[in-house]
Structure 1
Amino acid sequence: MAMLPRAARPALVASGFSAPIARQGVAAAAGFHSSAVQQQTLRELEQRIKSVKNIEKITKSMKMIASTKLTKAQRAMQAAKVYGQANNEVFEQSEATAPDGGRELYIVCSSDKGLCGGIHSSVSKRAKAEFGKHGGAAASADSTEGPSIVVLGDKAKAQLSRTLGKNIAVSFNQVGKDVPTFAEASAIADKIVSSGIKFDKVNIIYNAFVSAISFESRIMQVFSEESLEKAPKFGLYELEEDTLKDLAEFSLANAIYAALAEGHAAEINSKQNAMDNASKNAGEMITNLGMAYNRGRQAQITNDLIDIITGASAL
């Protein structure tokens, strides 16, 4: 090499050492691209963890609010049950029944609020099952056969409108914002009576509060003025004729109030359980995302150390 002219030495040096330098450049570019992808993945995981933590805060707050409302709703439910029990005593003692082939009215009790599990689907499914007993009247939304329906709450109305839309005679919204009162139940009963719907028996479908972790749909029956008048033992009460109509309307308001109050307690309890489950799921998701983030961070640190060691050994 010493015998070569000075002008040839740069060309020889360039031809001998350009390939390793090029390979090192390609390797550095590949490492940079891999590191950028890992950083982007870590940023996405970090954003998801932050979002899930915010959701967890919301669900925990909603659970605390539901827990506070539940005590008040349970007290109202216990007071309202007395009204329903008084109705049942009158109907049982008088042996009131609807005539064969009599007209029936279904009142479906729900609310306007969501995020409470399957509380609204429970009464909707029960209503469809009851209509299935009337010759499959729930088979089509264009069918007008079968009993009339009064829906309390937008949630059940939206679910029943798909298959029983033509049977819905009256609907009420703004239901479930607070603990139901007898004044609200009286207004609903008055609207039903004044709407001109003919019925011999009313079937109120509502959610019964079974325990702190469960509920079930039930039916409470109320009979019309004509059915009470024809009851075998109703004459034992010795009521005046002009009070019979008031008694029938009062019985309907009592039953609606009892059903709304118990359904409201079941809804608040279901919402508390739903928010508790959502908080637990969010916590598990945060744990899994945190483990994935830590693994990605460790892999990135390992790759950085490898690049540093490789560069140091190359020098």
Structure 2
Amino acid sequence: MPQSSLKSPGHFDTICIVGVGLIGGSLAAAVKQRQLAARIIGVGRNLPRLQSAQQAGLIDDCLVDLSAAAAESDLIVFCTPVDKIVTGVREAAAHCRPGTLMTDGGSTKGAICAAVSGSLPADVHFVGAHPLAGSEKQGFEHANADLYQDRICVVTPHNDSDPTAVSQVSAFWRQVGMTVIEMSPEEHDNILAETSHVPHLVASALAATLRDETRPLTSSGFRDTTRIAAGDEHLWAAIFQGNKTAMLAGLDQFETQLRELRGAIERDDTETLVQSLRAARVKRETLE
């Protein structure tokens, strides 16, 4: 496809955001704040919720018909659960105008990028992305125009991705305030299993151990450690299943570490226990 049919970065007439929750709503707020589009269409299954987001000033129009929205859009961003993205991309692509760009905010990339690759019209482009920003809170009511500011967005082009489309999608994420890092979908999934997906599963497992009778004695330590377990269970179940191989490898690594700590306690091995806790503390301090 001639490169001239692709939109110049920052000159989108219409941006469509599919899924106007916390992530999609914050993206809409960031686009409006930075004047990156003349019009924002919100797409979802719940029309009253979309209308409320419109009344809140996050979006300009709302539709439950993705195909109709796709026909009017220059850029489409999928902020839906990861198990809905491929179906959405394919449905939208059939109705897109030549030169339309599509990207997403999904927390897994390998399966999505592989499924979309080679399945779209030659003049419609999808470039996977994962903005590393969010919250355990849900709904557009918690939208924040600065949610993406100074955070990292991982852009994950596939083997057949159009270089111009990759450049323009990267430019879009930069324009909402993010630092863009490019890597393969597979590398992304391996890293995010370690830094996001396994930690969420561990936090959920810890929260599940809490008994009703001990709840009054929880304090900041338990709440801080389990905060992310308050995330949407359907969304996270889809993430775990969508990144199964890397998740299982990460859980093996975590279980090895847990067994070492347990063994040190069982053996009354204070030296090993202190060394392990010190190593963990030093790593945690580097995150501040």
TM-score by length of 1: 0.28
The structure whose residues are more often helix, as a share, is: 1
TM-score by length of 2: 0.29
Q: Which has the higher contact order (CA 8 A, sep 6+)?
A: 1
